[in-house]
Amino acid sequence: MRSLSEIETAAKRASKAVGFSWGTAEEVGKSIRQLELFGLQGIKNLNQYYKDKTTKKFEDLNLINKKNVASLEAYCPIILGISFLDQVKSLENLQTINFKNIAYPIIFLSFLSRASEISGKKIHARIDQNEILLNLNVNIFSSFLNQEFPEFANEIEIKFINNQDNFTDTEWNSLYKLAENTFVEESESLKQGAAGAGLTDND
């Protein structure tokens, strides 16, 4: 079994070999490593994308807007992902962002996962009819389950989820009141014991 370090290094070097800068290649390495860590097919999809790049022209999107439509065959998922990382702080103010025609969306997904960590917010992504929740780059929940990710997505919708508690004030207050039962006022003997050796120390 290949280590995550081997996966990251191979993805980085392969990305440089197909023409990306070292800076971009390093970002690809990190993202493919993360996909494999989550049990998703990063290496497989990156391999196929680089094979397709030899015969197909993919569009670079450097400035992301609320609605984005590729004029060529499809957006490059790598440049799109890096642009999203670079602009994530301003993009989260848009709440909802739409993309049409994206190649190898699973590669873009890895950058979205990292963007979730940077923004400090969960990101909900809908890839055509499949729902995905990106949780601060800690895990990914997906309705794809055992399905393979498609090589092409007609539409991706991104939503930033504002942080909020999953419980009511009543539920919190009830649990906190129970927790208060562990707050015991210190006796004099406890205070002396906590102070260290004190008077019983033999020099």
What percentage of residues in the chain have a pLDDT greater than 70?
87
- Three-state secondary structure call for residue 59: strand
Q: Where are the domains of the chain?
A: 4-161
The answer to whether 107 and 91 are in contact (CB under 8 A) is: no
pLDDT at 79: 97
Whole-angstrom CA distances from 30 to 18, 34, 93, 143, 196 are 17, 6, 26, 24, 48
> For residue 162, is pLDDT > 70?
yes
The 8 Å CB, 24+ separation contacts for 140-144 are 140/38, 140/40, 140/109, 140/113
Burial class (CB in 10 A: 0-12, 13-18, 19+), 91: buried
The whole-angstrom separation of Cα 19 and Cα 147 is: 31
Which tens digit of pLDDT belongs to each residue from 55-81?
999 999 999 999 999 987 899 999 999
Which tens digit of pLDDT belongs to each residue from 113-153?
999 999 899 999 999 988 888 887 777 776 665 567 889 99
> For residue 11, is pLDDT > 80?
yes
Whole-angstrom CA distances from 83 to 108, 112, 177 are 10, 10, 47
The tokens describing 42, both together, are 């990063």
> For residue 182, is pLDDT > 90?
no
> For residue 196, is pLDDT > 60?
no
How sure is the predictor about 164, in pLDDT bands with cuts at 50, 70 and 90?
confident
pLDDT at 72: 77
Q: What angle (nearest 5°) sits at the alpha carbon of residue 139, between those of residues 137 and 141? A: 125
Rg of the chain over all Cα atoms, to the nearest angstrom: 24
The whole-angstrom separation of Cα 202 and Cα 34 is: 57
pLDDT at 3: 95
Between 44-48, 91-95, 98-102, the lowest mean confidence (pLDDT) is in: 91-95
Query: Mean pLDDT in the chain?
Result: 87
Q: How far is CA 15 from the centre of its chain?
A: 20
> For residue 4, is pLDDT > 90?
yes
